[in-house]
């Protein structure tokens, strides 16, 4: 047996006049936006967001500053960063090759939290101010030590214009071209 449905009468606020007034108000708002649209869509390849300094984007590694402390690999919450063992030859002591550890990153796992950049004692890691980098395959997202040291190219830079989203007092969130 289905439960007995009790339909409560809906109490209306105001009368017919109030209804007509509110309908006209709604239509007026619609017409206002139709005539003067305030679009906030980002036309992505043609426009790109210029992020503020401090944005946590792609991470680049500076090998010369690294002291192989592995603090970045240990702090990484998603285990995206791993240390690899590399055999290096010091020019001062060419007869004694030595083993060093350097971090590499897996962008399939990286969540761009920036802990590795924060914890690095010698600032050997830094953020680029963008995230929109494309790789051809999933395997390419495992960066090798060489690839980790190169700043990636941003695809939208070649044809796009920079755009900033700002909060306006009257219009709300608005898109501005730089």
Partner 1 sequence: MIGVVLETLLYIIAYPPLWQVLIVGFAGALLVAMVAIWFERKAAARVQRRIGPYWASPRLGGFMTIVADMIRYVTQQVIIPFTVDRLAFIVTPVAVLVITILPLAFVPLSPHEIYWPVASMEYSLLIALALTTLPPLLTVVLGWASSNKFSVIGSLRESYVITAYELVAILALLAPAAATLSFNIAYIVEAQHPIKWFAILNPLAFLAAFLAILMSTSAFPFEIPESEHEVVAGPYTEYSGILYALNMGGGYIRRFIYAMLVALVFLGGWAPYTPGSGPLTGFIVPSLIVLIKACLIVFAMSFLRSVYGRYRLDQALDAAWRLALPLALLGLGWSIVLAYVNLI
Instruction: Report the interface residues with partner 1, using CB under 8 A.
Output: 7, 26-27, 29-30, 33-34, 37-41, 43
Any alpha helices (H) in 36-167, and if so which ranges? 71-75, 115-119, 145-148
Assigned token pair, 101? 């550890």
Which DSSP letter does residue 65 get?
G
Instruction: Tokens for 28, please give them.
Output: 């007026």
Smallest distance from partner 1 to CB 134, Å: 18
Q: How far is the CB of 43 from partner 1 (least distance, A)?
A: 7
Which runs of consecutive H residues, i.e. helices, occur in 39-170?
71-75, 115-119, 145-148
Name the helix (H) or strand (E) containing 53.
none
> Hey, which residues does 104 pair with through a beta bridge?
82
Of the two residues 35 and 138, which places its CB atom closer to partner 1 in the complex? Answer: 35
Other residues' Cβ atoms within 10 Å of the Cβ of residue 90: 11
Residue number with CB closer to partner 1 (22 or 122): 22
Distance in Å, CB of 130 to partner 1, minimum: 22
At closest approach, how far in Å is the CB of 162 from partner 1?
Answer: 19
Closer to partner 1 by CB, 17 or 34: give it: 34
Q: Which is nearer to partner 1, 141 or 163 (CB)?
A: 163
Q: Which is nearer to partner 1, 29 or 84 (CB)?
A: 29
Structure-token match 């289905």, residue found: 2
Closest distance of CB 35 from partner 1, Å: 9
């Amino acid at each position: 047996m289905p439960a007995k449905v009790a339909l409560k009468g809906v109490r209306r606020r105001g009368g017919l006049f109030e209804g007509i007034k509110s309908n006209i108000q709604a239509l007026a708002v619609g017409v206002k936006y139709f005539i003067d649209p305030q679009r906030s869509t980002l036309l992505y390849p043609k426009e790109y967001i210029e992020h503020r300094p401090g944005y946590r984007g792609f991470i680049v590694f500076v090998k010369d500053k690294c002291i192989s402390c592995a603090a970045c690999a240990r702090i990484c919450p998603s285990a995206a960063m791993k240390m690899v063992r590399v055999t290096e030859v010091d020019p001062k002591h060419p007869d004694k090759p030595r083993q060093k550890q350097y971090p590499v990153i897996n962008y399939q796992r990286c969540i761009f939290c920036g802990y590795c950049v924060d914890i690095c004692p010698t600032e050997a890691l830094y953020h680029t101010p963008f995230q929109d980098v494309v790789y051809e395959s999933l395997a390419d997202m495992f960066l090798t030590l060489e690839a980790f040291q190169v700043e990636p190219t941003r695809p939208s830079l070649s044809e796009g214009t920079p755009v900033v989203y700002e909060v306006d007092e009257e219009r709300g969130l608005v898109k501005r071209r730089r």
